Amino acid sequence: MYNDITWEYKGYNCLIEFDVEEDNVKAFHFVYPPEGDTLFLKISPYDTSKETVNKIIDDFIANGLDKNKIVG
């Protein structure tokens, strides 16, 4: 029912991975930039929108990587 979502946006590979439990579903957001480091984004685990990730990538491109928006 909940399939992980993958897509490419402006050269960044993106993944929304779902953790499905009996009474709860959470989404984890990953971005794989062309430079190689995996980024785990600090986005609500209940946001399943690709547009949210795309907006953060747009911000990366416009303003540089903001370490406060990532966990690792």
Specify the length of the chain in residues.
72
When the pLDDT of each residue in the chain is averaged and rounded to a whole number, the result is 88
pLDDT in tens, 17-31: 999 999 999 999 999
**Domain count of the fold of the chain:** 1
The domain of 25 spans 5-69
Q: How many CB atoms lie within 10 A of CB 52?
A: 15
Here the CATH number for the domain that contains residue 24 is 3.30.160
Alpha-carbon Rg for the chain, nearest whole angstrom, is 12
17 within 8 A of 4, measured Cβ to Cβ: yes
At residue 63, the pLDDT reads: 86
pLDDT at 2 over 80: yes
Distance between CA atoms of residues 62 and 47, nearest Å: 23
- Kindly list the distances between the CA atom of residue 62 and the CA atoms of 14, 48, 53, in Å, as whole numbers in the listed order: 18, 23, 14
